[in-house]
A and B are shown apart, each in its own frame.
Chain A
Amino acid sequence: MKSQLGADEARFLLEAQINGELPDERGRFGPFGGRYVPETLVPAFERLEEGVRRYLHDREFQHDYRRELREWVGRPTALSHAPQLSERWGTDVWLKREDLAHTGAHKINNAIGQALLAKRLGAKRVIAETGAGQHGVASAAACARVGLPCSVYMGAVDIERQAPNVDRMNRLGAEVVAVETGDKTLRAAIDEALRNWVTDPSGIYYLLGSAVGAHPYPYLVRELQSVIGLEARQQMISQAGGLPDVVFACVGGGSNAIGLFYPLLADDIELVGVEAGGTGDGLGENAATLATGTPGVLQGSYTMILQDGDGQVQETHSISAGLDYSGVGPEHALLQATGRVRYVSASDDESLAALEELCETEGILTALETSHAYAAARKWSQENPGKRVLIGNSGRGDKDMPTLTKYPARIRTHARA
């Protein structure tokens, strides 16, 4: 399968994407995407695709979805100016505050939308995977809200480093299933959720948490997350006096980034996705899939993945559980191939320092995932003084306390420096 695009093809695909023509009827974003799933799940995917076609843009569904976003999630979320950070960085910095959404991250936009869909599709129970635990908490809350039982698959490594979220899921009535296989992080959790789904494809609804996986998930998640970019666009115009010059978002699977970028694709704005640079450039030291990966099929989709020459998927490292994933959504693979979005990475240390700086300057404890976007925006600002910067503040950092308490000395040093 091919992954390189000629110049004409890239232009054509970008235009198709802006016009809302992607994914195509085969679930492709250009060469990327598709549906690589076991035969047992094919009918379930067809039902899901049919359900998405029937309900997602249906008036009644949209009415319910928007009401939940407004009255239960608390949307629109604020756009905050960041005066201290702006002064330090020499740019005009604005923050789209998904941390203020119910349960503390953008994940809820997708979770409540899919929970409403699961209900309409007659699901008996919901399963979900989680890395940072934010999608798990959002799924638990959304399932409680619509009245469906929920099981959340979570890698054993993540259960330890995101402990506060495990307790939250339990209290919200979800069962948390510890995944001890594979790399014991997000990828293993998705594998295990898929294995469970195969046991009852017609009764179970799989509430996937990022813009990854087989068609129609990357499309469905993008549509549900686009509310971020739609709101931010209007808020920038009315509050900041115009669109930003540049937008930063962190990229794990890519759901908050696609939600923020997608409504801005047609605008003359530089878009930058920030992946986890971990501790270095070597295979296994980071989760910078787009920057260092190669095309392949992982968990249902043809996309960029971190793999060795034999096609074995590699383990990743990131201080943030939500970015610690060897794949990425296929639409991001296309956005990289067409050159519309630039993908960079930020290291563990840079992200920790950025987290601390934001706490100190704006009084916001952001998630470790989100901190990566700040680290990259900070660097960019040094070279582009005076520009207007928008950062997707995808979630809050309370969940990261078990990790952060391991770095007290280092963080204090950074803050004083």
Chain B
Amino acid sequence: MTHGTAAVAKVDSPRSPYARRKTTRGNYELYSWVFMRASGVVLLVLIFGHLFVNLMVGEGVHAIDFGFVAGKWASPMWQVWDLLMLWLAMIHGTNGVRTIINDYATRDVTRGVLKGLLYLAFAVVVVLGTLVIFTFDACPPGSPAELLPSFCTA
């Protein structure tokens, strides 16, 4: 062993070893990225099914009226379907629009106001839509029977 190499061996590595920076803001953006992809796949099935049943079957859009909705929501399957579609589409859409606001609204105030409006719209629509599904009354008293589904009089 020569004097020289011993000296070299003592020299510290010039750079500090790689250490992952501890993230201080959490993994929110990562989760949102994953969520956009996972919810997209589920939404594809839910929305295509929704559009097919409401626009393609029978008379399509002309078949829709109060009785049509009552008939669908009499089945727990469609209640769950619509509930999932409501929540997933609203979270996916709100998250997507949030990204777009972040991209284009450069002034802090503008961005804050737009996001405030966005979250307000989200809350109102999700709460209202959920209440509508669960408090729906297929046979409201006092309504003309011809507007109601046939099972109301049966």
Q: Real complex partners, A and B?
A: no
